[in-house]
Chain A
């Protein structure tokens, strides 16, 4: 296989992954590393570099579209980014000290968890309870526009959410992914933030967290320009196309198919890592 053919094939696969990710609203980034390592025989460190860059591309590329639909809570994002970016630096320090087998296994587990999260429908907006006292201190509560006018919401379990976000940051740099599944866990399930707010806020945070990891990846030599180039261009194009044909109501079956695909990839990843194929 020539470099030209390799580039075209990786580009095509990346367009498909970006398209599916945007269409299902799940972000296809988690599939880039397994595809590059298992299908194209790329070293996992280069694959992680390419993947982390593609995460930034989708986050920044989607920001304009997301801002039309949803409502970013800028204070909440910034507050939690203290945790995710510091976590990302810790992840970089870890990544140089662990084996590729370890990375492969953690990756597989993360894929299985993502499959589980993805397979479920977005949660209903939860009736908000009393606010955590920290959410008052840090001015995290807000309002978002709904059919019945401005809907106030209160952020709960601030410390727990902050901790999950730190973990999300570590995982992001350890695996080269956006770890959107963990961010959703932190914001939807623990901090009880309305779905409309958490989706757009998480999109912002994913890009900033990935940038914190990518800066260090660059110096570790993980960002291989010629591997990253088709991935970045492909995922960007795919996600822009996906955002255009997005019809939320009809993506349920697609979500399930995608979740199954991620789950199978997770099992494959663990198997290959344990048998020394990664």
Chain B
């Protein structure tokens, strides 16, 4: 069982992590907004058609494709890059938790946290496309 003092020090760490997360979310939102302005200037007057599912273009489905096209300033890829950054914020929180458990010398929870991190990374990078 945790002692009150250990729990409070966790709380302080969590506070810092909370601020980092918020910063990540705000940066993600700014990138999405920039992509949105680009996109609406280019395509704002067209008609939306999202009724049928075709899947988004392949280059918007992978991390590498998104990054490459975003740097070429393709508006949809810029938005997708912001969304990708947002997806990474909880992943970062889990990674920071692993550091926290390592500092506490809690081997069991270092392992549990690495399992969670592994599943997250597998989902993002590992899983074969359906």
Contact = CB atoms under 8 A, between A and B. Distances in A.
A207 B25 CA distance: 12
Interface in B35-63: 35-36, 39-40, 43-48, 50-56, 60-63
A208 B120 contact: yes
Contact of B90 (A3, A41, A56, A226): A56
A252 interface: no
A60 B32 contact: no
A166 interface: no
Interface band, chain B:
35 or more
Nearest to B40: A4
Contact of A224 (B17, B56, B93, B123): B56
Contacts, number: 219
Contact of A228 (B24, B79, B112): B79
Interface string A53-90: 10011011101101110011011001101100110110
Given A56-B87, A60-B86, A208 B94 contact: yes
A136 B1 CA distance: 7
A210 interface: yes
Contacts of A204: 90, 93
A89 B56 CA distance: 20
B91 interface: yes
Chain A, interface SS category:
helix
Interface stretch (A23-31, A111-119, A215-223, A256-264): A215-223
A46 B109 contact: no
B56 A232 contact: no
A4 B44 contact: yes
Contacts of A2: 44-48
B67 interface: no
Nearest to A85: B119
Contact of B48 (A3, A71, A232, A236): A3
A267 interface: no
Given A4-B45, A225-B76, A53 B50 contact: no
B48 A229 contact: no
A2 B43 CA distance: 9
Contacts of A92: 123, 127
21 contacts: A2-B44, A3-B46, A3-B47, A46-B50, A46-B53, A57-B28, A60-B21, A60-B22, A60-B89, A66-B18, A67-B11, A67-B15, A72-B14, A86-B119, A89-B127, A92-B123, A139-B2, A139-B108, A212-B120, A214-B123, A220-B130
Interface of B: 1-2, 4, 7, 10-11, 14-15, 17-19, 21-22, 24-25, 28-29, 32-33, 35-36, 39-40, 43-48, 50-56, 60-63, 76-77, 79-80, 83-84, 86-91, 93-94, 97, 100, 106, 108-109, 112-113, 115-116, 119-120, 122-125, 127, 129-130
